[in-house]
Amino acid sequence: MDDDPSVLKSLSRALRIRAYETRTFASAREFLASLPRGSPACLILDVQMPGMTGLELHHQMVEAGFHIPTIVITAHSDVKVRETSETTDVVAVLSKPLRNATLFDAVAIALGSTKARGGGQS
């Protein structure tokens, strides 16, 4: 999830090349509206989002009982972002611009943690 369409397109394309099924969302509200249709096995979200930051979204999801392995991406290498992201569901905090190899490693970790908990979609 990112508010920059070019980042969304790039992330989706890179993951599809590796045979991951992807869905993209430009806002937290759009993502939250999709949850009744099923939660993802892994969530990649940007810190800076309009209306609700990625970290606010993550916190809200945890409070609502959704525990989705999450990869946080940010354009700012901020210690506060890393400290705020230190929960069991955040598997990685990655800085933009993203390197595909780093992203793929983080997704593999996230999906591995989903399997360890016994569920999730690919």
Residue 121 is assigned to a structural domain of this protein: no
Find the distance separating the first CA and the last CA of the chain, reported in whole Å: 16
Task: Indicate if the pLDDT at residue 119 is higher than 60.
Answer: no
Q: Phi, psi at residue 46, to the nearest 5°?
A: -85, 145
Output the domain CATH number for residue 41. Answer: 3.40.50.2300
- Let me know: does 21 contact 35? Beta carbons within 8 Å: no
Which pLDDT tens digit goes with each residue over 72-98?
998 876 656 666 666 667 888 888 888
Residue 101 is assigned to a structural domain of this protein: yes
Query: Cα–Cα distance between 106 and 122 in angstroms, integer?
Result: 14
Residue 112 is assigned to a structural domain of this protein: yes
Which pLDDT tens digit goes with each residue over 68-78?
999 999 887 66
Residue 69 is assigned to a structural domain of this protein: yes
Pure H helices in the chain? 5-17, 28-34, 54-63, 79-84, 100-116
Give burial (CB, 10 Å; 0-12/13-18/19+) of 69. buried
Tally the domains of the chain: 1
Q: Any idea which residue has 């190899």 for tokens? A: 101
Task: Indicate if the pLDDT at residue 56 is higher than 80.
Answer: yes
Residue 122 is assigned to a structural domain of this protein: no
Pure H helices in 38-99? 54-63, 79-84
Residue 52 is assigned to a structural domain of this protein: yes
Residue 30 is assigned to a structural domain of this protein: yes
Q: Which domain holds residue 11?
A: 5-116
Residue 41 is assigned to a structural domain of this protein: yes
